Amino acid sequence: MYAFDYVRPASLADAVKALGASEENRPLAGGQTLIPTMKQRLAMPATLIDLAGIAELKGVRRDGNAIVIGAMTTHADVAGNADVKAAIPALAALAGGIGDPHVRNSGTIGGSVANNDPAADYPAAVLALNATIITTTREIPADSYFTGMFKTALQPGELIKAIRFPIGAKAAYSKFEQRASRYALVGVFVAHTGAGVRVAVTGSGAGGVFRSAPLEAALAKGFSVDALKGAVVPSTGLLSDIHGSAEYRASVIPVIAERAVAAAR
Amino acid sequence: MAQDGIGASTKRREDYRFLKGIGKYTDDINQPNQTYCYFLRSPVAHAKIGKVDLSVAKSAPGVVAIFTAADLEAVGGVPCGWLITGKNAQPMKEPKHPILAAGKVRHVGDPVVAVIAESLNAAKNAADLVSIDYQELPAIIDMRTAQTKGGEPVHTEATDNMCFDWEFGDKAATDAAFAKAAHVTKIDLVNQRLVANAMEPRAAVGVYEIGTDEHTLFTTSQNPHVIRLLMGAFVLSIPEHKLRVVAPDVGGGFGSKIFHYAEEAFVTWAAKKVGRPIKWTAERSESFVSDAHGRDHVTHAELAIDANGKMLALRCDTFANMGAYLSTFAPVVPTWLHGTLLAGQYAYPAIYVNVKAMFTNTVPVDAYRGAGRPEATYIIERIVSKAARELKLDQAEFRRMNFIRKDQFPYQTPVALVYDVGDYEASMQAALKLGDYAGFPARKAASAAKGMMRGIGVCSYIEACGIAPSSLVGALGARAGLYEAATVRVNPTGSVSVMTGSHSHGQGHETTFAQVVASKLGIPAENVNIIHGDTDKIPFGMGTYGSRSLAVGGSAIVGALNKIIDKGKKIAAHLLEASEGDIEFKDGAYTVKGTDKKKTFGEIALTAYVPHKYPIDTVEPGLEETSFYDPKNFTYPAGTYICEVEIDPRTGTTVITSFVAADDFGNIINPMIVEGQVHGGLVQGIGQAMLEGAIYNDKGQLVTGSYMDYCMPRADDVPSFKVVTTVTPCTHNPLGVKGCGEAGAIGSTPAVINAICDALDIDNIEMPATPERVWRAAHAKTMKAAE
Ligand SMILES: Cc1cc2nc3c(=O)[nH]c(=O)nc-3n(C[C@H](O)[C@H](O)[C@H](O)COP(=O)(O)OP(=O)(O)OC[C@H]3O[C@@H](n4cnc5c(N)ncnc54)[C@H](O)[C@@H]3O)c2cc1C
């Protein structure tokens, strides 16, 4: 690790100020991604702004017809939260399937969504559930938030405060793991609301998480496993690596989508 | 009877400190005034080293010294411990393996510059400031084309990149058998490269005492005396009495910590140069590119069979990857530990094997759990299953038809080994029963009804442990003896300290060896302490590998115990006023035959150290004996494994629904520890079959350089194992034991692949059988069926 400075502001305003002080500064959430990168000397922030001391970034609240989850809420807290479990059980289940207990007790939803790892789980939920990313400067709809692998609409100095998930979808997430990392090789989040069906796929897109038009079209005809029979996902735009070719991923995506549809409630 | 003696499933005493995190590993050792070493390693696979500029780095904060190959010209290279002689009496090519890369780098991870600083971070920061001009050369990665690729070879000493071209067996007899065969089965196999991944990364601490001119190396080794011998004699020219090597608690080795490595020689050498202790600990990503890798064979094999289904002969051509340099025992793995095992459990008369060992721009390859025997077993057990499939014979039945029968032992194989004892039918029957082999068709039908494909795979393995005797291995090219040594020191109050040359790095010797002593002396195991791993404390011993610790090291302990018991008889005879011939030793007491006169072992021990009433004219005081044991033969554990899998053809997901192991390890000291060794071995072998594999791209970059991409098996990847043992005691060592450390890793890999091939009804699948590979095979089947 390179030497760095560390601050732990108590308010969001102080955090934004500290972050704005230099382009080399970086916010620190659970550290599950950032710290390993620093250890490998692949990142060298000047100052780490630890968000752990900011009370307003933590916790889950129900806000009308939505669940709002503070950026610094850990995966374990989302997985175990009674409101989330009751209102959006698919989201609680997804959080409970991230990494291992250590990762779940440290890693946060804000860190995950800010990082936008192409194989991370939360981005699929955010996209399929049509959530809104609430930042220090604005509200960003999911459809315009994820802009590419490890890329988001966040501007320098902008922090995620919370994520707002609408309640009411019949939904589920199914994850087919890459065997070494146990991140998603293919993760499919399906959500069915009065407004239609949204299907988000993670782990497979060369540009990160994406919505699958063919699967959404198939499920629009009827939200059932049968409706997916014969659905074809093209391999163009999919990742190819030692764990799975694009062709393989394309073939597995509908199978995992079936599992998600079968589990949706 | 001694409590916790032979046969008891005593809990492992060492686990107390391991589970509580209070073990003492090399990295836990800190010396006053210690410095830290960081090796700057090559980022490219093959390059000439141009200008190396250290000027900026040398003045970086905290830097103590920086060294390159130029500083090490007077120092020897890392030696190789085994000379292989190939066809036409050609000795293997043995290019120098410099401590730091000299002139050229030959693999990603080759250490080029060593930075010593006040802290690890300071050393790394300084390393960032070193500039090295690498003039890149085309990398030689694929061993199959290494000979003909052209361009700059890995070593100028081997212009065609071939280290040796070795053959073994009776070629003429083999050809003759093939000429009259009714059926020939052919197979092409890749036994992929693996990374050992011991839980504890390698580490070394070098210390030099100027006052006494003594060097101490603390290192993560399976065999500290071997390191002292190789490093002292061949690399640094330090006489043995001035060099102490300590391997304290070691967190797993799996073979990768047998070898002498450049880093440990470097810190030993540099500690004297800088006049301060030096510590180096590998990071995980560094381990991936600097610990010796395992396996990496490519084989074409053919099996000749007569009209009655009798196997007649086996022919194999293997390429073995040596990597960029010859690691300590690399040449023996694909040769004597592989070619001699090709008879397996079968009575076929002719075998011929040719092995071409190649240099490539990859990490050196050496022994990894099983070392040569898994590769041999994979060939035999895959080709036997393929043959059974071609002949439409049941795979278990076809094996049984060709087994060496119980009444044929001792059995001379066509590849030099003489199996002393075994009962292959017994372990086969035990496995068939435990795995409910007969019920498989019903289970397969049930799976098919769910759209799943079920398969069953059998593997009947043999292995050879406790490489020996020394005279034989010497004739085969070993540059060391392969005996083991033990000192048994009975303390005045009757407790016992055993100094053994075997090294425990997860095997549980501290428990098992104490059980042996407890049984022999009739004392509680808790009164026995096992001391190992420090060349200043233990007799000269060869360490732990090849499942040799109990069969060879345990035998040495028994030898020393026998001497103790005999000496005790003399003392007892004196005290009991009887003749020595009338003294019996049993259950911890010396008695005079036919009387109730007795002395306990403790009383004899005390008398030996307080020799007031003592046969001082004929017997020396004290009770301490040393024994060296040189085995008469290898030991031959064998058994049958049965694996059952269920495959989801839509995703290629393969689940092992059942795994059964029936092993013959001879007599067993601690059944629980043996079971644990089997479990661990099975998981490693399953890991190779389904999960693990080191992948290099054509530039020589290790693509699987971290756990994000190199898949280690986890608990939920494997089923709950069913294991049993059948026993035919080894005929030539005092405990009748054979060794159990590697069997699981040797026998499980082919069992899994046989099961997957059976499920998919295919001839072969590449390892690891990843979901995508399985899916492709299943997909090809359904496409074909649809036609
Ligand atoms: C062993 C292991 C296994 C894992 N397995 C999985 C898995 O299966 N599925 C999965 O989805 N993830 C997995 N992860 C990743 C894990 O979920 C991480 O926690 C997550 O990606 C990052 O969250 P964090 O809180 O640790 O963020 P950090 O590492 O602290 O930060 C990540 C990035 O986000 C930025 N950031 C953090 N918070 C904010 C904010 N509020 N606003 C703006 N930027 C911010 C940081 O500056 C940094 O660039 C795994 C991680 C590990 C170590």
Q: Over the stretch B593-633, which tens digit does the pLDDT of each residue have?
A: 999 999 999 999 999 999 999 999 999 999 999 999 999 99
Please tell me the distance in Å from B778's CA to the nearest CA on chain A: 12
Average pLDDT, chain B: 96
Contact A180 B709 (CB under 8 A): yes
Kind and range of the H or E element at A181?
A: none
> Quick check: B784 pLDDT over 90?
no
CATH topology of domain A5-50: 3.30.43
Kind and range of the H or E element at B84?
A: none
- Show the tokens assigned to B256: 């990768």
A183 lines ligand 1 (CB under 6 A): yes
| Ligand 1 center to B704 CA (angstroms) | 22
Please identify which residue in the block is written with the tokens 């059942």. Answer: B658
Q: How confident is the model at residue B781 (pLDDT cuts 50, 70, 90)?
A: confident
Summarised one tens digit per residue, pLDDT across range B585-602 is 999 999 999 999 999 999
B773 touches chain A (CB under 8 A): no
Closest CA to B695 of B46, B108, B111, B48: B108
A80 lines ligand 1 (CB under 6 A): no
> What is the share, in percent, of chain B residues with pLDDT greater than 70?
99
Contact A251 B704 (CB under 8 A): no
Q: Using CA atoms, how far apart are residues B708 and B705, in angstroms rounded to an integer?
A: 8
Q: Using CA atoms, how far apart are residues A171 and A236, in angstroms rounded to an integer?
A: 26
Contact B533, B503 (CB under 8 A): yes
Q: Using CA atoms, how far apart are residues B329 and B84, in angstroms rounded to an integer?
A: 10
Q: Using CA atoms, how far apart are residues B309 and B399, in angstroms rounded to an integer?
A: 10
At residue B137, the 3 state secondary structure works out as: coil
| Ligand 1 center to B727 CA (angstroms) | 53
Q: What is the pLDDT of residue B407?
A: 97
The CATH class of the B483-629 domain is alpha beta
Has domain A55-166 been given CATH number 3.30.465.10? yes
A49 lines ligand 1 (CB under 6 A): no
Q: Find which of B452, B704, B711 to mutate to test the A interface (most A CBs within 10 Å of its CB).
A: B711
How far CA B411 is from CA of A31, A85, A248, A254, in Å, comes to 62, 67, 50, 57
Please tell me the distance in Å from B772's CA to the nearest CA on chain A: 6
pTM exceeds 0.95: yes
The structural domains of chain A, with segments of one domain joined by +, span 5-50, 55-166, 170-263
Q: What is the pLDDT of residue B783?
A: 78
Summarised one tens digit per residue, pLDDT across range B24-71 is 999 999 999 999 999 999 999 999 999 999 999 999 999 999 999 999
Q: Using CA atoms, how far apart are residues B258 and B543, in angstroms rounded to an integer?
A: 8
A28 lines ligand 1 (CB under 6 A): yes
> Quick check: B787 pLDDT over 80?
no
Q: Which residues of A touch B770 (CB under 8 A)?
A: 179, 243
- Show the tokens assigned to B435: 């795995």
Q: Which residues of B touch A256 (CB under 8 A)?
A: 651
Please identify which residue in the block is written with the tokens 């067993």. Answer: B668
B206: phi then psi, degrees, rounded to nearest 5: -105, 135
CATH architecture of B293-467+633-786: 2-Layer Sandwich (3.30)
Q: What is the pLDDT of residue A20?
A: 95
Q: What is the pLDDT of residue B2?
A: 54
Q: Same fold for the domain at B293-467+633-786 and the one at B483-629?
A: yes
**Number of Cβ atoms within 10 Å of the Cβ of B307:** 9
Summarised one tens digit per residue, pLDDT across range A206-242 is 999 999 999 999 999 999 999 999 999 999 999 999 9
Contact B366, B330 (CB under 8 A): yes
The helix, strand and coil proportions of chain A, stated in percent and rounded to the nearest 5, come to 35, 25, 40
Contact A243 B709 (CB under 8 A): yes
Q: Which residues of A touch B778 (CB under 8 A)?
A: none
The structural domains of chain B, with segments of one domain joined by +, span 31-137+199-252+257-290, 293-467+633-786, 483-629
Q: Using CA atoms, how far apart are residues B579 and B590, in angstroms rounded to an integer?
A: 12
Q: Using CA atoms, how far apart are residues B377 and B386, in angstroms rounded to an integer?
A: 14
How far CA A254 is from CA of A36, A242, B622, in Å, comes to 34, 21, 78
Q: Using CA atoms, how far apart are residues B85 and B673, in angstroms rounded to an integer?
A: 39
Kind and range of the H or E element at B695?
A: none
At residue B490, the 3 state secondary structure works out as: strand
How far CA A10 is from CA of A15, A45, A69, B554, in Å, comes to 8, 20, 19, 63
A258 lines ligand 1 (CB under 6 A): no
Beta strands in B580-721 (DSSP E): 583-586, 589-592, 598-600, 624-629, 638-648, 653-664
How is A37-95 classified by DSSP, letter by letter?
HHHTTS---SEEEEGGG-GGGS-EEEETTEEEEETT-BHHHHHH-HHHHHH-HHHHHHH
B650 touches chain A (CB under 8 A): yes
A232 touches chain B (CB under 8 A): no
Q: Using CA atoms, how far apart are residues B645 and B647, in angstroms rounded to an integer?
A: 6
Atom of ligand 1 nearest to the CA of A34: 29
Interface of A with B in 137-176 (CB under 8 A): 176
Please identify which residue in the block is written with the tokens 């989850």. Answer: A69
The CATH class of the A170-263 domain is alpha beta
Query: What residues contact residue A195 under an 8 Å CB cut-off, 6+ apart?
Result: none
Contact A179 B691 (CB under 8 A): yes
Contact B126, B67 (CB under 8 A): no
CATH topology of domain B31-137+199-252+257-290: Aldehyde Oxidoreductase; domain 3 (3.90.1170)
Contact A181 B708 (CB under 8 A): yes
**Residue in B closest to A180 by C-alpha:** B711
Contact B708 A243 (CB under 8 A): no
Q: What is the ipTM of this complex?
A: 0.96
